[in-house]
Structure 1
């Protein structure tokens, strides 16, 4: 009898662990507030917004942000937009990883990158914060830089001393005309990460 109960609990624990491995936290970085909606720094928000809208799921207010739940091919994607402002993004990331028992290897952070040409994509399994305050705070809160990040190039076409104005500035008309196609690719990358895995996703999309 005792052995049977032990086996039952062991089996339940394995099932729970399996379910956790099928759950992914997709974090789009950005700043809340109308003045930031169309800025370069908010590309993370824009990509998860696009996926949610395309798949017909809605964001709801949750602790430290807004979240939408999207299910695809047996996976659950929790799309999170922190409301902590960029510099404290890590608080929301750590809270939801812990609350949902999501392993850090299933964390996917979408952010802007000055070191990449406009629209270029680079997916990496780890790395430095590269001077990005959102990543810096996530590294601090997780005490690790080993998690997947999807960097979206915004280029560095700004004059000396104007970096902040550029990052918090809005896209040019030419850039705007090209963004929808990039959003589409971003949505496919998120789904690929959860279904095909990191390595195949990097092979398929890096540099595009």
Structure 2
């Protein structure tokens, strides 16, 4: 059994923001692989889907970004999920818009959602899919930038990146982290 977590913030005011790219990808996955519906479970929006013969658990924590670990920890503990079978999808300021990077483990890189998950799980040994959102322009803080909506001019790049992330996630489910890294890292 695999679990895929998309990070973001709940609420309409955050729906289309850069920080919610994980939610956007998960919504597309739930639409493609499942029935498109979530239930409220594990302090989040929860769904189950099948990809081939694999059962996949999907979760969008509703705890706000900085407390994402609470929801992820609840899911992992309930299903006894091996951390190598957990994929977390989230925004990354250090990657240009449209770029993806899969990692099998690593530090939080300053991302508070990942920091919360590492703290809750007691480990940084879980795969993650970083979604490039680019750095804020000079003079703008990272905190305000991630809570802004994507620019209209970025719509095509955003759509392509979400599509590529869905493909990378499907490959991760089917063949594992290394196969997905080899095919998708560095692609834009």
TM > 0.5 fold call: yes
Match of 1:166 in 2: 145
Q: Distance in 2 between matches of 1:143 and 1:66?
A: 23
Match of 1:91 in 2: 70
Match of 1:120 in 2: 99
TM superposition shift of 1:60: 1.3
Match of 2:20 in 1: 42
- The structure 2 residue matched to 1:109, chosen from 79, 88, 97, is 88
Partner secondary structure for residue 119 of structure 1: coil
Q: Distance in 2 between matches of 1:161 and 1:56?
A: 39
2:34–2:48 Cα contact (<8 Å) kept: no
Higher helix share: 1
Higher mean displacement: 83-92 or 179-188: 179-188
TM superposition shift of 1:56: 4.3
Question: What stretches of structure 1 move > 3 A for 4+ residues in a row?
Answer: none
Q: Distance in 2 between matches of 1:158 and 1:67?
A: 35
For residues 154-195 of structure 1, the C-alpha deviation after alignment (integer angstroms, 9 at most, x for no partner) is 000322352111110000111122222221111111111111
Q: Distance in 2 between matches of 1:54 and 1:179?
A: 17
The structure whose Rg is larger is 1
Match of 2:11 in 1: 33
* TM-score, structure 1 as length reference: 0.86
Q: Distance in 1 between matches of 2:49 and 2:62?
A: 20
Match of 1:140 in 2: 119
1:69 maps to 2:48: yes
Give unpaired runs (5+ residues) of structure 1: 1-22
Match of 1:19 in 2: none
TM superposition shift of 1:112: 0.4
Q: Distance in 2 between matches of 1:28 and 1:94?
A: 14
* TM-score, structure 2 as length reference: 0.95
1:100 maps to 2:74: no
Q: Distance in 2 between matches of 1:114 and 1:88?
A: 19
